[in-house]
Each structure stands twice: as C-alpha cells, then as structure tokens.
A and B are shown apart, each in its own frame.
Chain A
Amino acid sequence: MLLISTCAEALHELEFVTPVERIVRGAGHVTTVRHVTAVSADDLASAEGIVICGTSLKDNDFLRTDCSWLTTITVPVLGICAGMHLIGLAHGGTLNNAVEIGLQTVSFTDFLGLNGPTDVFSLHTSYIDFTKLNSFRVHTTGGVPQAVAHRHRPLYGVLFHPEVRRHELLTAFCARVQKQ
C-alpha cells in the first residue's frame, strides 16, 4: 500500500501518517510512504492501493501539488482530509472555507462499511465542493461534503480522520484493496 504524506513538516507525519500506517499494516499490508511532491510514476504503477493522508490545520502547502494522476488511476485510492481535497481539485472541484474541529455525527449509506449516524473526528478549515462533480456520490452534513465515492472507479474521499475515530473504515478500504 502506498501512503502519501501531505505534511509540509516531517514532525506532523507522526500525527497524520504514522497512525494510518499502523492500521494499514495491522490489516496485513506492506506499506511505502512517499511525500506528495515526490510520488513517481513507478510508485503509482507498483501500488496495490493508495491512501493520501491528512495534515495539520494551518498546513495548506499540499494544495499547490498537481495530482492529475487521480483522474486516471484505477487502483483503489482513499483520500483523508487533505487527500480528499486533492481528489476534488484534480476533478475540478472548488475550494471553500468551513472550520470543523472535533467530533461530529455524519449519516452514511453504505460507505466503506459505514451506515447510519456515525461519530467522526474532524480537523479542517476548508473543503472541496463536489456538488457539480456528477461522477461522485456525496455524503453531506450541513452543506459540507464529508465523504465521496467515485461512481465508476474505486476512488474514495473522507473529510474526517478515520485514524482517530472509525478505524473500521480504513480496515474496510484495506479489504477493498485485497479484493481488487
């Protein structure tokens, strides 16, 4: 599994990448970590699945990264917070502001094993508007897309942090990768 860091500061990777890596390894995957600015064509070609991890509230450097490969990739991809931003931007979504910090309840319908009202941990000051992106199924709370799934490819995004609350979502994604 390729884990992509979006953190400008390496110290933040202990907070946003390492916990994801622990869960993915616990699900039986071998992991490779690359910074978003250093992902190569070989990395993408050899990945069985990809998780793009989140970063801290004040870190927006990742927004400048070209991730157009997300429009053609066919292996399963899960974008967490900053990762969901990159998925949305690559597909033409627009950046909007919304500060959400802490636990909140989101309702899901069959999203990587989540169903019904579910507590999630949020940590962001912006989101991507997916409403005009018809190729995505969107789970929204209070007008903010909290989770998206591409209709034709195994491409998923969550605005919240499943490595804090909802480890089962990461485990379900890992199972999806194994099935692919």
Chain B
Amino acid sequence: MRLGVLFSGGKDSTYAAYLAQQHGHELACLITLVSENPDSFMFHTPTIAVTAAQAALMRLPHLQVATRGEEEREIQDLQKALAQAEVDGIVTGAVGSVYQATRIQRVCHELGLHVFNPLWQKDQLELLDELINEGFEVIVSAVAAYPLDKHWVGRRIDEAFIKDVRLLQEQHHINPAGEGGEFETLVINCPLFSKPLVLGETVVRGAGNSFRLEVRNAPH
C-alpha cells in the first residue's frame, strides 16, 4: 500500500514509519500538522520545524498543513491535510491515546483511508528498548512534568535514560515513553535517514518543570 505518515519528527511516528516500510509498504509522503497552539490536544509541537529537514533526509515529500490547534477544529484541519495526500492509507505513532486514535480513525473512515497504528498498546519500556536495538538515535526535545527539568532536554534515549525513566515511573508515575506528554522527542538518526540530522545552534527555554529545545538556525 502507498502510505502517508502522520509525522511529528518524534520517536513514535518515525518508528511507526520504519515498521511500515519493513512490512513492505511504500512510504509515499510525510504529513505534518503544524499547530499554533503549544498545548495542542492532537499534535506534537516542539521542534516541529525540524520535520522538513528530517523529510529531506528520508527523501520523502513533506506535506505541512497549518492548524490553530483548537480542539475539534484541528480534526477538520487533519481531514483537509489527509484529503490532499494521494495515499491508500496512513500510518501513525499512536501508542495509547484513545482520544487521538479515535479521532484519526473517524477522519480516515470518512475519507476511505486505511489506518495503521503499529505501536498501538505497546509496552512503553519495550518500545524504548526496540528503538535502541533498531539503531534509532533520539533526544528529548521538551519536558512538561515534575520532576523533569531542563537537564533532561537534549538527553539521548539510551540504556541509562531507560534506567532513569523506569525509576521515575515507579516514584512519580511518569510514563516511560512520554505518552502522557511528560516529554517529547526528536529523532536525530535512524535507518530511514540518509545521514544524521545536524541541528546546529540550539537553546533550551522554559521554567519550572516545562522546558523545550529551540533550534536557532536551519537544521540539515
């Protein structure tokens, strides 16, 4: 099947795309909803501007659609974006959000598109292990939960990271894959990229337990 990837540049959508390709599907394009609302209910927002560089490294067409990020209105924007993509179906990185999965399924049903959620209901720690084993280089691009702080931003997902988030899961109920929005991620390199992403100059901004990585010049 020709599949469009609902792509945020983070670990889940990128790994889902990789699994789709490994199962013999054609990745036709990446589809990114660029939300004006940093607290979007549906769409990943930190470092979303980096997705264009990631698409170039994957040598895939990149369809970027702006959305104001208002609840339910952003679903209409998603529907417009998917209607533009000439694909048989879409692949998403949904893991556990019934809210997100339900809305995507409804939109795709309206449009007659197949939906693939290859990470659906996956164990969070198993997911992190698989990413490392499959050669994904992933960093934390934002945090938004106690006791995470600015020192976590930019940190690479490796075995030491998994050990630390496992502890945070036990002590503070932090979801180890950031599924509850506790942290967001950015893929720096993976088997789909022709070479590693170069971010250039970055700065970490925020306060309290909410920090995000900002990329100052054009990544490549």
Contacts and interface: CB of A to CB of B under 8 A. Distances in A.
A pairs with B: yes
Interface stretch (A12-20, A89-97, A128-136): A12-20
Nearest 5 Cβ contacts at the A-B interface: A19-B121, A102-B102, A11-B23, A14-B118, A15-B120
B199 to A, nearest CB: 31
B98 A14 contact: no
> Secondary structure of the A side of the interface?
mixed
Given A58-B114, A103-B98, A11 B105 contact: no
Contacts of B108: 57
A74 interface: no
B65 interface: no
Interface residues on A, range: 20 to 34
Contacts of B102: 101-103
B116 A15 contact: yes
Contacts of A56: 114-116
Interface of A: 9-12, 14-15, 18-19, 22, 56-59, 99, 101-103, 121, 123, 125, 163-165
Interface residues of B, number: 24
Contacts of B122: 18-19
Interface string B173-185: 0000000000000
A57 B111 CA distance: 12
Given A19-B121, A56-B114, A163-B121, A10 B105 contact: no
Given A9-B1, A56-B114, A58-B114, A22 B123 contact: yes
A40 B116 CA distance: 28
